[in-house]
């Protein structure tokens, strides 16, 4: 449990550093910097998936690696690697589609109560 807390906290600190870097160095607004930060985390997860670093980190940290954007990029990258000879696009969307639907429904339900 401590490992999950530390790794999840480290990811949050890195994400905050990316956001601040985009605001300070590139003179972006808050919303644009957050979009770029999310994109950067997704690209990192997509790069870490084929070299098996994401899997080792997930096995070490457990629930500390459940960051929605990074997990989605990992799912898409892993399914793309698994089905690269059979047709990547349809398998990526079949696996990631359920995640997207869950996120949309959860966002809608959360918006009802906020």
* Dihedral (Cα; 75, 48, 38, 26), 10-degree rounding: -160
Average pLDDT over residues 35-48: 90
Q: What's the pTM?
A: 0.71
Model pLDDT for residues 69-85, shown as the tens digit of each residue? 787 777 777 777 776 66
Model pLDDT for residues 7-24, shown as the tens digit of each residue? 989 999 999 999 999 999
pLDDT-above-70 percentage for the chain: 82
For residues 80 and 51, the answer to whether their CB atoms sit within 8 Å is no
More confident of the two residues 46 and 80: 46
Average pLDDT over residues 87-93: 60
């Amino acid at each position: 449990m401590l490992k999950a807390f530390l790794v999840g906290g480290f990811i949050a600190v890195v994400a905050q550093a990316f956001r601040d870097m985009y605001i300070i160095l590139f003179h972006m607004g808050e919303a644009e910097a957050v979009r770029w930060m999310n994109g950067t985390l997704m690209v990192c997860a997509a790069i870490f998936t084929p070299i098996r670093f994401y899997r080792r980190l997930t096995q070490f940290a457990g629930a500390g690696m459940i960051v929605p954007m990074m997990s989605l990029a990992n799912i898409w990258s892993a399914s793309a690697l698994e089905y690269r000879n059979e047709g990547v696009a349809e398998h990526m969307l079949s696996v990631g589609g359920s995640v997207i639907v869950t996120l949309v429904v959860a966002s809608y339900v959360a918006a009802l109560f906020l």
